[in-house]
Structure 1
Amino acid sequence: MASLLPFLWVVTFLCADLTEGVTITSTDQTTVTRAQGEKVRLPCTFTLAPADEGTFEIEWNILEPKEGEVIIYNTDRVYDQYRMMGRVQFVDQNPASGDASIDVLNLKLEDTGTYQCKVKKLPGVQTQRIQLTVLEKPAKTICHIEGSQEIGTDLTLKCKSQEGSPVISYSWTRTTGSQELPATALLNAVTGDLLVKNASQAYSGTYTCLSRNKVGIEECSVLLTVTPPIDRAGTIAGAVIGTLLALSLLAFLIFCCYKKRREKKYEKEVHHDIREDVPPPKSRASTARSYIGSNRSSLGSMSPSNMDGFTKTQYNKVPSEDFERTPPQNQYFDPPKVAAPNLSRMGAIPVMIPAQSKDGSIV
């Protein structure tokens, strides 16, 4: 056992030299929180020992949530064609001088993760891990009042950020007047609601809400004006009367439009209507038939004593059917005159014949 002691001392000394070769000195910062769009510096400083004579290399990796390379320095050359290409760089242009820190520009939410800096110069190797958290600042914060702003009522001042990483907390301050919140005000820092009970005119003023998280703060304001109660009965009566007047006016306009439309429709119908007040004249064919029939009946009732001055149609000149269908224009029957003694011998009986117009109709 005593013979093994010198050997154990030699092994311990060699191990001490190996572990004490490269020493990382920036171990005081292990977590970093930044806002989206900002720049962050991840520290990694180191010292080398005389025993470190091998190849020098610096390697930055992301371990969680998805493992991958970030940037590498090896034999005086930088390799940055990885996931953060164009957004990551070494702080010192010569990282071998003892500063392997990097800057990450234009941070994104997906940059959140665990980063590792590894400094290697054989036989020494050292690593350091830093947790980076990227958050979104509160944004689009909106303030408004919910409830009636009348004396004696309960109302709520509401505040809400539409964007921003949790956890967001809210606070209210009064920026006018006494700059103190009402004694009856109750704040909910999680929802951003400020409940004001039994409001009075002394509570009137401008109130400002602050929404904040670990990386930013935003504010919005609202004006509270507490007024005396409104005469609701008069308001309702006025609203009813106004509604009735509006309906009456609307009905009158509809009636006028309807009446105007009816008048236009009537004028249009009268304009296109065919008047039938006077019956059309009889055709010449029917006139000829009536004329022949009347003469025949007249001849049958004539007597010799009353034939003077009257005319008779010659039977051989009675119009045919063709003549009845197409009577000639401006042509009238002109029967020859027969003396009264001859009519008497023929056995005719004199009768009165009504006068006729030129077109053959009875007058």
Structure 2
Amino acid sequence: METPTSAKLHICLSIFTFLCCISSGDLAQLHLPQKNVEVIQGKMVVLQASYTGVDSKDSTVVWNYMSSSVEMIISYVNGGLSYSTSQFAGRVGFMHKMPNTDISLYINNTKASDSGKYMIQVINQKAPGGLTGELTLNVKAPPSVPVCQVKGKPVLKGNITLACNSKDGKPAPKYKWTKTSPTSEIFFPPAQNETAGTLKLNNLSSNMSGKYMCTASNSAGEERCYINLEVITSTNAGMMAGVTVGCIVALILIILFFVFMWTRQKDTEEDLANEIKEDAQAPKRVSWAKSGTGSDIISKNGTLSSIHTGYYPRDTQNHHHYPHSDTASILTATRGSTAGYRSQPPANATLERTLPGYNTNPTLPHGLLGPPSPNGGSQHSLVPQPASAQPQIPRPPVLPTTLTAANISRMGGVHIMVPAQNQAGSLV
């Protein structure tokens, strides 16, 4: 009978011990469904975590980022939330409203720098030492658009290398080369290096020309680039050389043409300036002409005309107009040289009548001559007369019939040679 009684006491003691353990928190546990979490860069990720065995109202929850040092991301203490001001600021939070036994953490707009280890802590007075767990986050980035290039000169029977490289990508991308046109072709090692992204083409031929594509890929995505390969044959090389030489020659010709046009324009401007100088208008007054009474004047068209020293009244009845004539010699009379000189016209006065300015009208203008001028000449002026009184007006002096150097000198005249003139009035 003692044995059954002892067995019953042992069972009761075990139950009591178990209940004490539960009350003391020895059965509290932290649950982490995923110890390794992956996410593509830019996406949102959730770090799942929960606990049991203790009351959430009396618990303190803290998420930390494990880098070179421990950095607090977010915490819940005594009913209040605290956030980090580091790289996670504004991007983290609890998935459920606190307090809660589900303490999962979300991170928005993930970055490559978010990769690393994360630690979760739950502190409760009924759980001595607290609850602690760790998990790893891996933020993957798709490769950036690769750059394709040709290393070497693609000549016939030559060797080249096609290179492909992406600047970004996590994990490191793999590269594959394929020919897409005019025919499809797939390449394998050792010609192709998937890690370095190179493709070696040896002993080039014309049928190797075409379009090649490089694909950079990793677990986050893939990107492509293209390149057109043209194998240069001897014909193509000669054509390229001819085109190059032709372009150089054309450039030289264009330069020479512009130089020629500039020189021609400059010469034309100089010739035009010289013509303007030669065709300049003659001066209104000649420096060597005498001034004063009886001097020579210049007509409107730039020619020299000879006039009489004295002024005669215009005939108001007979209108005979004689044009001025250009002459190479001018008779200039001195003061008083013809005053009082009267000579009878010869029987044959043809020469005299043909002289320029000779008045063939026998009728003289009506009026009287004025008194002699102070300088010895005669002042001719019209004096109005009544219609009944019309006195006789003496005739003007008649020039000698024969014009010789002696007669001109005897009359006080000076013989002057006048340079010839062109039609524009310029002196030649």
TM-score range, shorter chain: 0.5 to 0.7
My pick for the range that moved more, 164-173 or 262-271, is: 164-173
Q: Among residues 327, 335, 344, which one is paired with 1:332 in the alignment?
A: 335
One of 217, 237, 241 as aligned partner of 2:222: 217
Given residue 360 of structure 1, which amino acid in structure 2 is its aligned partner?
V
State the Cα RMSD in Å: 4.4
* CA distance 1:272–1:192, change in 2 (3 Å): farther
Compare CA radii of gyration and give the structure with the larger one: 2
Give the Cα separation in 2 of the matches to 1:47 and 1:334.
154
Shift of 1:213: 4.7
Q: Call closer, same or farther: CA 1:273–1:44 in 2, change over 3 Å.
A: farther
**Structure 2 counterpart of 1:132, from 131, 137, 148:** 137
| Cα distance between partner residues in 2 of 1:208 and 1:95 | 55
C-alpha deviations, 1:140-189, integer Å up to 9, x for none?
Answer: 32223344445422222221223445744433234564532278x72344
| Change beyond 3 A, Cα 1:41–1:86 | same
2:94 to 90, 97, 100: 90
**Equivalent AA in structure 2 for residue 38 of structure 1:** K
Call closer, same or farther: CA 1:53–1:26 in 2, change over 3 Å. closer
Amino acid at match of 1:62: Y
Shift of 1:269: 3.8
Letter in 2 for 1:72: S
Aligned residue number for residue 46 of structure 1: 51
Structure 2 unaligned spans of 5+ = 1-16, 295-331, 342-404, 418-428
- Larger helix share, 1 or 2: 1
Q: Return the offset for 1:61.
A: 1.9
Q: Partner residue of 1:172? A: 177
- Mind listing any 5+ residue stretches in structure 1 that lack a counterpart? 1-11, 289-328, 339-351
Pick from 335, 340, 355 the counterpart of residue 408 of structure 2.
355
Matched residue, 1:326: none
- Which SS does the other structure have where 1:89 is aligned? strand
Question: What's the TM-score once normalised by structure 1's chain length?
Answer: 0.63
**Partners of 1:199 and 1:112 in 2: CA distance:** 46
Q: Does 1:107 align with 2:110?
A: yes
Q: 1:27, 1:128 within 8 Å by CA — same for their partners in 2?
A: no
- Change in 2 beyond 3 A, CA 1:334/1:161: same
Matches within 5 A, 1:32-43: 32-43=37-48
When normalised by structure 2's length, the TM-score is 0.55
- In the other structure, the counterpart of 1:141 is 146
In structure 1, the residue corresponding to 2:146 is in which secondary structure? Answer: strand
- CA–CA separation in structure 1 for the residues paired with 2:210 and 2:250: 39
How far does residue 77 in structure 1 lie from its aligned partner after superposition? Answer: 5.2
Q: Which runs of 4+ in 1 moved over 6 A?
A: 12-19, 276-279, 335-338
Cα 1:336–1:42 shift into 2, 3 Å: closer
Moved more, 109-118 or 268-277: 268-277
Matched-pair contact (CA < 8 Å) for 1:143–1:220: yes
Residue type of the alignment partner of 1:89 = G
Residue by residue over 1:87-130, the C-alpha shift from the partner in whole angstroms, topping out at 9 and shown as x without a partner, is 22223345623x22211010134434432111122221111123
